[in-house]
Every structure is written in structure tokens, then in C-alpha cells.
Amino acid sequence: MMRFFSIFFLSILLFTVSNTAHAADSDAAALFYKMRERLNYVKDYVADVRMKIDVSFMRIPTVQGKLYYKAPDKLKLERNGGIAILPKKNINLTLSNLVPAGNTTVIDAGYDIIDNQKVHIIKVVPEQEQNDIVLTKIWIDEAHLLALRTETTTRDNGTIKMDLRFGKYADVALPDKVIFYIDVKEYKLPKGVTMDYDGNESIAGAQPAKGSKARKGKIQIEYLSYIINKGIPDEIFAEKAK
């Protein structure tokens, strides 16, 4: 009889835990889809930016210019004194490109603290193969539906970690500042950024030699101002013939 009751109560406990976990994942999924819907509001923008690339084996001056974005994946950096195209295969400089689209499986991963603020952590797995994303981990400010940190694992390009800080444009989920943490061995920095900036300043070093140890790097982008959803023609992103 005691064995029967032990099995009965264990079954009840497992059922309760399972349903609690399912409810938590359902709440996490609702949170994710609400946050992703906010990202869909911005169809294009032109931003005045200041970009700093910090890689230990390169000497790279700060880049200033305009960053053009058009959903879903068009990007172009027009720097002062020249133009650099940012191809799709290089580092994604927008949150929308690092968040899985389509149907997903969302897992509640608990809570954390970022800058003295409690954030909800979720893990998002695409249900079907899309782009290069395998898994995205997101730290969300629930009150404002903003992603304050992401960690995206990709099939071919390693893991991209990103911290975001919001201010003037938080109402449309556009950051004032973004910091990317990268494995330089895994990524190609945009050619227009890693090569010469003017006739007098060359940048020492290029991509690490094949088989070399991975070296960490950081890209910091400050968004000084935005012009949002005014329409950008596709021709803006066309690479000019050399």
C-alpha cells in the first residue's frame, strides 16, 4: 500500500513539474513573439554612427559615417571619406538578423541581472533550417520588450555575442549603442573597415593565418541619430563595379 501511494504522489509531482515547465515555456514563447513583433516595425533606417573596432593584433581608427539598413538583411556603411559595403556573409550589425524568424521552439531559461536590472532569459531554436542560426539566447527587459543581450550560435560562423543599450529610440526598439564580441578567427571583418582608411594610414595585420589560435575582438557602434521608415531604394546597396 505504501508503495502504491509513493508511486501515486511521485506521478502527481512529475505531472505538476511538467505542467509548470510547459507553462513557463509558453509564457517565454509569448514574450519572444511580442519582442520580435516590435523589431518588425522598422523596415529601414539611415543612422549616423561612430564605430570602434578593438582587435588586439590590428590598429584600426574609429569609423564615422552613415549606416543604411533595409529589412530583412541589406546593410551598407558609408564612412566619411569613402564607402564600404557590408556583405550579408559578414557580421550582422542588426538585432533582427540575429533573431530566428518563422516558427520556433522557445525555452524558458530563468532570470539574470544586467546593469542592476532583472532580465528574463529565453532560448530560441528555429523549427526549420533558416539562414545560419542554430540557437539564440536572449536576455529580455520584460517591461519594455527590449533585448539587452543576445548570444547567437550559427552553423558556419561561430557564436556572436551582443550587448545593447537603449535610450532615445527605445520606443521603436532601436539601440543607442551596440557592442559585438567576436572570435576573429571565425569572422571576416568588412574589407572597407579593415584596410586603409586614407592615403597615410595603413592597418597592420589581416586575418589570422589558417590554423592559428582564435583571438577575441570587439566592435562597438554608437548610433547618434536615426531616420526611420522613409524608404531606401535597393540601388543604395548595390556594389559598384571596380
221 burial level (CB within 10 Å; 0-12, 13-18, 19+)? buried
Selected residue with higher pLDDT from 107 and 60? 107
> Radius of gyration (Cα) for the chain, nearest Å?
21
Q: How far apart are CA 49 and CA 195, in angstroms?
A: 19
Q: What is the rounded distance in angstroms from the CA atom of residue 147 to the CA atom of residue 153? A: 16
Range with lowest mean pLDDT among 27-31, 156-160, 189-193 = 189-193
Element (H, E) at 179: strand 177-183
Peptide bond into 175 cis (omega under 30): no
* Residue 21 pLDDT greater than 90, yes or no: no
- In the chain, the domains with their CATH numbers are 21-229 (2.50.20)
Listed residue (70, 42, 71, 32) closest to 174, CA to CA: 42
Cβ 47 vs Cβ 233: under 8 Å: no
- Convert the pLDDT of each residue in 193-209 to its tens digit: 443 333 333 333 334 43
CB 74 within 8 A of CB 90: no
Average pLDDT for 172-185: 85
Percent of the chain with pLDDT over 90: 39
**Considering the entire predicted model, what is its pTM?**
0.75
* Most confident option among 119-123, 125-129, 196-200: 119-123
Q: How far apart are CA 73 and CA 94, in angstroms?
A: 9
